[in-house]
Amino acid sequence: MIEGQVIDQFQQVKIKHKKIPLKEVVKRAFLITIGAMIMAVGLEIFLVPNQVIDGGIVGVSIMLSHITGVKLGLFIFILNIPFFFIGYKQIGKTFAFSTLYGIIILSISTTFLHPVAAFTQDILLASLFGGIVLGIGVGMVIRYGGSLDGTEILAILSSKKLPFSVGEIIMFVNLFILASAGFVFSWDRAMYSLLAYYVAFKMIDITIKGLDESKSVWIISENYKEIGDALLHRLGRGVTYLKGEGAFSGDDKKVIFCVITRLEEAKLKDIVAEHDPSAFLAIADIAEVRGGRFKKKDIH
C-alpha cells in the first residue's frame, strides 16, 4: 500500500485513550465503509481486469488470486489477519478494529464486484483512473482511523530493529511486489502497476489533507508592516509578528508568520514580491491546523 500517511494515525490512536462518542464511532464506520467500497471499485472495475496491481498485501493478493483462481477478497482477508493481531497488541484496539472492519468491507465488496465488467480495456486509462479511485478510497479510510493493508504495521515494527525508516521499508517492499507483477503477468503490466501506485499515492495525499491543504509562511523583511497589512486586507489572513535576531549582524528582525491554504500561495508570493522583492520567504506544508483565528476573514 502507500507509505507514510497512516503513521500519524497510528500515533494518534495510540496516544488517545478517551472513549470515543457513539456518534463519532458511527460516522467513522460509515466513512470507512464508503472508503473500502471505493477502493474495491478501483480494484475490480479498473485494475484487476487489466492485470494491473497495487502494492502491499493487496498486490500480493491480486497475484495469488490470478495464479490460483481463488477469489481476491479471500486472500485480502486471510493475509491481513496476522497484521490485525499485531496492530491490536502494538498499536491499539481502536485502530486494529477499524482496520479489521475496513478489510472485511473491502473483501466483501471485491467479491460482489468481481463479475462486473471493466469500465475500459485501455490499460493506460485503467491505470490512471484505477489509481485515482483507489487513492480516494484508501485516503478516506486512513483519514478516519483505519488502514486497508498490513504492510504499514510491519514496516513500523521492523523500523525499530532495522537501520531504515518506515517509508524506506514500505517503498522497498512495494517495489519488490510491483516488480513481481512482471513475472506473474508481464513487464509492461509491472510498469503500469507502478504508474497506478504513484497516482494512488498522490490521491491519498489529496484525500487526507484536502485541496485546501494548509501551509505555514515565514517572512522576514524590512517592510514587514506593509506586507502584514496587505496579507490581512487583501488575502484575508491574520498575521503574527515575531521578534527575531540576525545571527551574523545581531540586528533585531521582525518575522511575519501566517497560515494560508495551497490555493492562496501564488497570491501571497505576489504580495510579498510587490512590497519587497528581496524579502526572505519560507513556505512549508502543515498536516493540521486547529484553534486560533485560522478561518479566513471576510474582505470588504
What is d(CA 36, CA 233) in angstroms, rounded to the nearest whole number?
Answer: 43
Same domain, 128 and 197: yes
The C-alpha cell that represents 184 in the structure block:
506473474
Work out how many domains the chain is built from and give that number.
2
Domain end call among 209, 226, 242? 209
Q: Cβ contacts of residue 92 below 8 Å, gap of 6+? A: 13, 14
Same domain, 16 and 151: yes
Q: Which phi and psi (to 5°) does residue 272 adopt? A: -65, -45
Whole-prediction pTM: 0.70
Same domain, 198 and 227: no
Same domain, 219 and 201: no
What is d(CA 74, CA 60) in angstroms, rounded to the nearest whole number?
Answer: 12
DSSP reduced 3-state for 238: coil
What is d(CA 16, CA 249) in angstroms, rounded to the nearest whole number?
Answer: 45
Same domain, 178 and 50: yes
The C-alpha angle 168, 169, 175, rounded to 5 degrees, equals 85
pLDDT of amino acid 295? 56
Same domain, 44 and 143: yes
Same domain, 40 and 179: yes
Q: Cβ contacts of residue 185 below 8 Å, gap of 6+? A: 51, 53, 66
Mean pLDDT in consecutive groups of 10 residues from the start of the chain, 300 residues: 49 51 87 94 93 90 92 92 78 79 94 88 93 91 81 71 72 85 90 91 79 81 91 86 79 88 83 91 80 55
Same domain, 125 and 243: no
CATH number, domain of 269, equals: 3.30.70.120
Same domain, 118 and 161: yes
- Domain with 72, as residue range(s), is 7-209
Q: Cell 482477508 belongs to which residue?
A: 77
Residues pairing with 219 in the sheet: 256, 281
Residue 77 zone, left/alpha/beta (φ > 0; ψ -120 to 50; rest): alpha
